Structure 1
Amino acid sequence: MPKYVYDFTEGNKDLKDLLGGKGANLAEMTNLGLPVPPGFTITSEACRRFLEEEALPEGLEEEITEHLDALESRMGRRLGQADDPLLVSVRSGAKFSMPGMMDTVLNIGLNDESVHGLAKQAGGNERFAWDSYRRLIQMFGKTVQGIDGELFDGALEELKGGRDDLELDAADFQRLVTTYKGIVKDQTGEDFPADPYRQMSMATKAVFESWNAPRAVIYRRQERIPTDLGTAVNICSMVFGNWGMDSGTGVAFTRDPGTGHQGVYGDYLQNAQGEDVVAGIRNTISLQDLEGIDKPVYDELMKIMDKLENHYRDLCDIEFTVERGKLWMLQTRVGKRTPGAAFRIAVQLVDQGMIDIDEAMTRVTGAQLAQLMFPRFAKDAESKVITKGMNASPGAAVGKAVFSTDRAVELAARGESVILVSRETTPDDLAGMIAAQGVLTSRGGKTSHAAVVARGMGKTCVCGAEELEVSVTERRFTAPGGVVVSEGDVISIDGTNGAVYLGEVPVVASPVMEYFEGSGELGDEDELVQAVHRIMSHADASRRLEVRANADNAEDSARARRFGAQGVGLCRTEHMFLGDRRRLVEDLVLATSSEEREQALAALKPLQESDFTEIFQEMEGLPVTIRLIDPPLHEFLPDYTELSVKVALAGDRADEKDRKLLAAVKRLHEQNPMLGLRGVRLGLVIPGLFAMQVRAIAEAAKAVPGARAEVMIPLVGAVQELEHVRDEAQEILAEVGVEALIGTMIEVPRAALTAGQIAEAAQFFSFGTNDLTQMTWGFSRDDVEAAFFSKYLELGVFGVSPFETLDRDGVGRLVLLAVEEGRRTRPDLKLGICGEHGGDPDSIHFCHQAGLDYVSCSPFRIPVARLEAGRAALIGAGSDTR
């Protein structure tokens, strides 16, 4: 029988798969001799079994009883003992941090009898005891019994009558307990459970079930956390920060999670329990202020923070409680941080000798780098600052003010940019935070729910704008000076300095973008750019994969070079036929004789040659893979219905060319153009089209010294198709007197399945994973993404869109098969990927593992691809790449 329960003394930080992050780190701190309240952890395996079987696994209750007996013996009190109660917290803790997404219940063990025993423990402090009891009923009712939390919040606000919660006395909280118990009875039909052991059992099951709560599912989807991990449950003896003014609770960071700067960062709240800090219901004081309140506790905390950072060799996020002058550690974890902080901290730790540059590179991600490339507000913009708050998560966000999660989701779905405004956010606001460009709250600090979650997602956030009066019901807020902002009004928030502006503030390029563009100077004073430069330099030195660009013109090619591209992996020639040149394609389609066709091709050739010449010049000897024309032909012709109406209305006066064009469009009309006359099929059906393009490529390459052309033939499904085009292309190349590789794009499943045959005629494969994904799944991206992808994500059919991250199980298997069979036929076969998956971090790691030679992506994604290719070389196959 498996072991389901571990005492804090039995685990360590390396058992996160089993004990979850919280349980593993509580065990680690216990092993380090830090002041951790005794307790035990129920494993995530027990959670998985519970969710599968809808019942606690066999033997679990006995293990819990055994460990609870040991805890009671150690503490010298029994759970809920009437005259001297042991109270415990029941807290979730998955492998990956999911702040606020799952459930926690504090003060388990209180009832109408033990509340008096708790007051006795506290030296007659009745206020503390009844406050703790009402908190239990409130959290238990909402978390375990599914009661609307607004009912409890409303009762508390009514009792306060505008007073601060610290002004409430024991009698107030006793009345609140009675009110809360009435809410429970009214909503569930049952009395609040008085049995402490039943409380703990129900709370444990509720924490297990919260793994599948909607907000937890949404968060996992956002952060790409596997759905089958489950959560551990931590049973911890209670320590109380709401004992009095000599007690409190706080959150601390060993470095600033917003900037990465070293120093003392965190929030503290006197006479409070942990949820008061993260919920932002009362504004906190800074951690430095704790030194003046209780210097011995402050000094001990500083020593522990230093010990933890050196032990974990990283920024640590710490939760602690002070109980009557005694410091207790409730949690530590490697803290979430903003992208800028991630790069700064990684390099700082290298300079301090705590990690090497290899590890530093694995601690930052391409997604974080992409965030650093986003624009920022112009410093000299003439915009009205209406208030300021705490700079909780940096960035520049502009959008319409909205005051509810539902409204944020609704407007974002229409393509509108929004800023979610609230007094404070809760885990239930996660969908709105994801939809919004940024978050603004009037309460809370840098460790509030809004701040922590926003930093984890890379969202701009300003918290604790105290002078902001937010009315959620009236959907507006009032700023100092009487400025009223109603829902729909545009505001701008600056997560770097905490400023809130009325209206839209202009944005400018970020320093990191200027660095990549080559227009910024790399000065010693720019710590962030220096950090990015050092890590990118190491990524380039470490990676095996080359990084190329998808570029269709000289401008994109030049930008790609500035961003570090090592060539062009995809030049789409059909993009060169748009605009004014579209008429020339129409002439080609309308040609009724070889003479007319030759005239049309002759008009197109010099334009193509000029395009290719400019691209070769920008690439300066780097390889350029040019895909021969591959559009559905209808994209170059007028709309059939519109043209029919035009000709019909003109009647006898209809233009002769319009009549011919209509006949051609009718003749070429297809039910499913994406699977029709396109790619290699088009080149075989329209004589001279591919030959014209190959000749233009060859003559352009000959005109540019050192040019390296690679001719890619699209949509090949059979080697015979490729052979026809290859033979003609080779004759033209030999005639012009240049050399070029000839290969194909693998974008239909049959090409992947017959890759061994196709490699006999191809010198390279480039995987066109956009079309390969469509054809493997059997759906059109344009038609289905808006139709049902959101439902598929919700149901778990997709963990992430297969157009965003490569589907390893389906499309990925086809790629692996083509790689294996292609190289078996031709060992020197060059392999790359040119779908937009080439810029996706997880897909890049797959490409490295699959043995591809290069990835190709849009110019702006090249820095991300360079970094992730370096990380892939160090992290290795099968490792987590988030």
Structure 2
Amino acid sequence: MQKDDPHTTLITATAPIAPNTHGGRAKCLQRLVRLDLPVPRTVALSFSAVHGLASGQMPDMAKLLAPFGEQPLLCVRPSSEDPDWGGPGAVLNIGMNDAIYVDFCDALGQEAAAQIYLRFVQSYAIHVARLDPDLFEDIDSDSPDGLSAALKAYEDEAEESFPQDPAVQLAAVLRSMARAWEGTTARLLRQAKGAPADAGLGLVVQQMVFGIGSGESGSGVIQLVDSSSGEPQITGRYLSQSQGRDALVKGAEALFLEADARGPSLEELAPQAFADLKAYTALMRRKLREEMQAEFAIENGKVHLLDGVRIARSARAAVRIAVDLAKDKIIAKEEALLRIEPRALNELLHRQVDPAAMRDRIATGVAASPGAATGRIVFSSSEAQASAARGEACVLVRRETAPEDIRGMHAAVAVLTERGGMTSHAAVIGRGMGLPCVVGASELTFNLQARLISAPGGRTFKEGDVITIDGTSGDVLAGEPAMLEAAHDDAFQELMVWSDAVRDIGVRANADTPTDAATARNFGAEGIGLCRTEHMFFEADRLTPMREMIFADKAQDRRAALERLLPMQREDFTELFRIMQGKPVCIRLLDPPLHEFLPHDKAGCRELAEALDLPLSDVTRRVEALGEYNPMLGMRGVRLGVTVPEIYDMQARAIFEATIAASREGAPVVPEIMIPLVSAMREVELVKSRIDAVAAEVRSETGQDFEYRLGVMVETPRAALRADEIATQVSFLSFGTNDLTQMTYGLSRDDAGRFMSAYVQLGVYPEDPFHTLDTDGVGELLKIGAERGRAASPDLVLSICGEHGGNPESIAFCRNAGFSYVSCSPFRVPVARLAAAQLALQDKIAP
């Protein structure tokens, strides 16, 4: 065999082997050879050679076997480009036949020889000859007659003797593994894991190290860190008189590696072999610049390294490993940042269902807010609050949530809805609160009157039953599976510090309450990019004066009701300013239509009639009169500020008075006031004049001066197109991509979930535009708005504050468009910080 044959090559330090031609396993083995580690002789077959095998083009078997001597005993393992893509299982002990069995009986003893031969016969029969595994179920592998029974079973079923020629055996194994890789089932499985349809497979043919015989012999695996936490810890198992990964089989009487009070260990049994293993694995870490798991075999006390793979790891472990490698100067900090998938940080920030736990899946919906929580089912916000008061965890179950459910969501540990998508009310608020949420669970039947939900297959769950919401996967689970706690450890914090040192776009948080603001600050947000004030009005002590204001016919009556709300709003804003300690806070003036604050049922109308001392019929008529055919496009946002200006007057006064109070106690505050749903410059002029007038009044009354910035939330296509006019009136434009996407597409974000998956599968849309920013359509409007706005006002601050703000792809778009910052849910701030850092680093690396 030629060492430099590109398709069938002996693995040496200089052989032409690469991950994209021979696979990751072959390349890793070459790296181990270059480190002069004890790797058995190995030949690598390229993707091209394996593809040829599948179509019947066999390599020159004599040349392939030549490096292995007169009596070759081999194993074959798959070598795909990415180990996560899987591949056919390894086949060991190829070359075993009757003659070698006799020799082994003399050298190793009959029991060991029979075990080696029997293992190969069974593996070959099932995986190569494709015989029924049941044929071998009753064969006792420990019996002296087990081998004879297996050979007889093979001969009877295959109608031929078991092959004795190593070349014939090896050829059949190679052909079988190649065909298995290219089969339809295997192709679909690896595509589901992200592999391209034409992903190639390499194969490595390696000289066997038996791990069975006289002296200390066995096999196992070793790694230097824990796969769950990433903490330094020698981990693995060793099993005497075993092969391959036998030590990891459940029930195997494996030994610990390091001396352990719980049982015998390899360190005590074979101290030199253990010391060698530690040294080899540490060398792999240092030279391969990665935490590796080594598969090894020991033969008469001597260690052989059969394979090395990048260890499997949780997100928490991935962060710890990358940070520790950088701190040990093995990799640069910049490389550590690039090694972590930003979205994987969600796993650190929230409790998760333990991957090893059994999952009793009831249904699957849209994974709207990551994390997992367990609680008893409740069907209303009042029940959720009562449950929380009793100290019982509960899951709020609704057809869909509305603003009046805010208190119930705060009381619940998770939310489940029948309707909705990624930007529905439950999803947006859930992400902001860090509350696990599954929406659009249409497989379930919700019967709110009977207070139960029905699952496919006839299972029912009533109020009080315990379920688990996994907002990371979208699963609704029965019962209480084991959980993994969130981890904001020192490695995570260090990674965030490194991220901030290199990123070049700001990251703020969408935060509506002091709790949200504190969370945002703890996660490193540079300020609040969106504070939605409507959520402040749904508290019980605020809802009645709000409703009084709505029912008032005259301006002075509205002002009287709003006077009761003013001190509450002022305290809200003062607390936000205190928490953010001088960092910018952008407050959006009231946005939703007024009817959202009114009751929607008879009982609620009756309570309101009592509170306002009005006839029920008057209340009912007024509620009906305020109803709209299309509330999303009705009297809301700036339209309220223009037609009912007293609301924005009160909010502006509360902001300015809070600014003075908070500045007196700490760092100076410069609030940002944002006008929602603007579509015309004149709207801005009208609101701006009133806000300026309120500012002048507060300055005059208090004798205190202060600054503030006025901006517009760009949510309508017209606002983006007329950004040059609007920009002359304001300091900033913040693009609300939730509504902008909704209006650009003519899609309801709450209802699109019903058909969106079908649209994506059929290629109508490449992705759900509420989940991933549509850079072609909506993005074009963002670019136009940014360019025209900056042309009219070069110092204009540009930002995005819709749900897309936390997506790495959206952050890339915003950087390229020259935006100043992105704003996202508090729990997505670390994701955005890391994604922004990676984008900045990639720009530096790119030629």
Please give the TM-score of this superposition, normalised by the length of structure 2: 0.69
Residue in 2 that maps onto 1:355: 331
Kindly report the root-mean-square deviation, in angstroms, between the aligned alpha carbons of the 2 structures.
5.0
* Contact 1:550–1:856 (Cα < 8 Å) also in 2: yes
**Residue of structure 1 equivalent to 2:89:** 104
Q: Does 1:587 align with 2:587?
A: no
Report whether the alignment pairs 1:135 with 2:123.
Answer: yes
Q: Matched residues in 1 for 2:630 and 2:154: separation? A: 62
Match of 1:701 in 2: 659
Specify which of 739, 743, 766 is matched with residue 734 of structure 2: 766
Tell me which of 33, 39, 46 is aligned to 1:42. Answer: 46
Does structure 1 residue 673 correspond to structure 2 residue 631? Answer: yes
CA distance in 1, matches of 2:196, 2:644: 51
Q: Mapping of 1:367-382 within 5 angstroms?
A: 371-373=347-349
Which amino acid is the alignment partner of residue 66 of structure 2?
S
Q: Is the 8 A contact 2:608 2:619 kept in 1?
A: no
Residue of structure 2 in register with 1:312 after alignment: 288
Shift of 1:681: 3.6
Alpha-carbon shift at residue 622 of structure 1 (Å): 1.9
Q: Who is 1:855 aligned against?
A: 822
Please say if 1:65 is aligned against 2:59: yes
Q: 1:364 to 1:120 in 2, by over 3 A?
A: same
Report what 1:421 is aligned to.
Answer: none
Q: Does 1:235 align with 2:204?
A: yes
The alignment-based identity, stated in percent, is 33
Q: 1:159-178, aligned counterparts within 5 Å?
A: 159-160=139-140, 168-169=142-143, 171-176=145-150
Question: What does 1:4-23 align with in structure 2 at a 5 Å threshold?
Answer: 8-9=11-12, 15-23=18-26
Superposition pairs of residues 234-633 of structure 1, within 5 angstroms: 234-237=203-206, 239-241=208-210, 243-244=212-213, 247-262=217-232, 264-280=234-250, 282-288=252-258, 289-291=265-267, 297-322=273-298, 327-339=303-315, 341-364=317-340, 371-373=347-349, 402=358, 407-408=360-361, 529=490, 531-580=491-540, 581-633=542-594
Shift of 1:551: 2.1
Gap regions ≥5 residues in structure 2: 107-112, 160-166, 259-264, 376-413, 415-464, 469-478, 700-705
Equivalents in 1 of 2:52, 2:716: separation in Å? Answer: 47
User: 2:67 — aligned with what?
Assistant: 74
* Paired residues of 1:253 and 1:316 also in contact (CA < 8 A): yes
Could you tell me how far 1:574 is from its partner in structure 2?
0.9
The Cα shift of 1:70 comes to 4.1
Q: Deviations over 1:621-646 (max 9, x none)?
A: 2211011122244422222xx34997
1:203 to 163, 166, 177: 177
- The alignment covers a number of residue pairs equal to 706
Distance 1:696 1:181 in 2: 89
Alpha-carbon contact 1:551-1:568 (below 8 Å) kept: yes
Kindly indicate whether the alpha-carbon contact (under 8 Å) linking 1:849 and 1:877 is maintained by their aligned counterparts in 2: no
Q: Partners of 1:671 and 1:19 in 2: how far apart? A: 63
Cα contact 2:736–2:800 (8 A) shared by 1: yes
Is the alpha carbon distance of 1:845 and 1:74 closer, same or farther for their aligned partners in structure 2, counting shifts above 3 Å?
same
In structure 2, distance between residues paired with 1:227 and 1:139 = 25
Answer yes or no: is the 8 Å Cα contact 1:772–1:811 preserved in 2.
yes
Structure 1 residues 232 and 316, CA, compared in 2 at 3 Å: closer, same or farther? Answer: same
- The CA deviation at 1:607 is 3.6
Distance (whole Å) between structure 1 residues aligned to residue 92 and residue 138 of structure 2? 24
Tell me the CA shift for residue 15 of structure 1.
4.4
Cα distance, 1:809 vs. partner?
6.4
- Residue 101 of structure 2 corresponds to which residue in structure 1? 119
Q: Is the 8 A contact 2:73 2:208 kept in 1?
A: no
1:89 is matched with 76
Amino acid across the alignment from 1:74: P
Say if 2:211 and 2:242, in contact at 8 Å, map to a contact too. yes
- Counterparts of 1:157 and 1:590 in 2: how far apart (Å)? 80
CA separation in 2, counterparts of 1:552 and 1:677?
A: 22
Unaligned runs of 5+ in 1: 48-55, 78-83, 186-192, 376-394, 419-436, 438-487, 492-502, 514-527
SS in 2 for 1:683: helix
- The one-letter code sitting in structure 2 at the alignment partner of 1:285 is L
Letter in 2 for 1:829: L
What CA distance in whole angstroms lies between the structure 1 residues aligned with 2:13 and 2:127?
29
Deviation, structure 1 residue 852: 3.2
1:831 aligns with 2:772: no
Question: Secondary structure at the residue paired with 1:98?
Answer: helix
Moved more, 588-597 or 573-582: 588-597
Deviations 1:175-196 (A, max 9, x none): 34665788899xxxxxxx9875
Deviation at 1:172, TM superposition (A): 1.8
- CA–CA separation in structure 2 for the residues paired with 1:594 and 1:576: 22
Measure, in 2, the Cα distance between the counterparts of 1:753 and 1:229.
44
Name the SS of the counterpart of 1:252 in structure 2: strand
- In the TM superposition, what whole-angstrom CA distance separates every residue of 1:478-523 from its partner, at most 9, and x where no partner exists? xxxxxxxxxx9999xxxxxxxxxxx98999997x65xxxxxxxxxx
Is the CA contact (8 Å cut-off) linking 1:37 and 1:330 kept in structure 2? no
Greater CA drift, 197-206 or 749-758:
749-758
Per-residue Cα deviation, 1:101-145 (whole angstroms, up to 9, x for no partner): 4432414967xxx7435536746734312211202333457xxx6
Contact 2:17 2:26 in 1 (8 A): no
Between 708-717 and 718-727, the greater mean CA deviation after superposition? 718-727
State the match for 2:27 in structure 1. 24
Distance 1:858 1:71, change over 3 A: same
Tell whether the 8 Å contact from 1:26 to 1:36 is kept in structure 2 after alignment.
no
Q: CA deviation at 1:204?
A: 1.2
How far residue 577 of structure 1 moved from its aligned partner, in angstroms, is 1.6
Q: Cα–Cα, structure 1 residues 253 and 691, in superposed 2: closer, same or farther, change >3 Å?
A: same
CA contact (8 A) 2:353 2:482 kept: no
- With structure 1 as the length reference, what TM-score do the two structures score? 0.66
Cα pair 1:550 1:568 within 8 Å, conserved: yes
Match of 1:746 in 2: 714
What is the rounded CA distance, in whole Å, between the counterparts of 1:197 and 1:258 in structure 2? 40
Q: Which one-letter code corresponds to 1:566 in the other structure?
A: E
Secondary structure, counterpart of 1:284 in structure 2: coil
Q: Does 1:689 align with 2:647?
A: yes
1:414-458 alpha-carbon deviations (Å, 9 max, x no partner) = 99859xxxxxxxxxxxxxxxxxx9xxxxxxxxxxxxxxxxxxxxx
Code of the aligned partner of 2:101: A
Alignment of 1:686-835 (within 5 A): 686-705=644-663, 706-717=668-679, 719=681, 721-733=683-695, 736=698, 738-748=706-716, 751-752=719-720, 755=723, 758-775=726-743, 779-785=747-753, 787=754, 806=773, 815=782, 818-835=785-802
Offset, 1:619: 2.8
Secondary structure of 2:145's match?
helix
Say which SS state the counterpart of residue 832 (structure 1) adopts.
Answer: strand
Contact 1:248 1:321 in 2 (8 A): yes
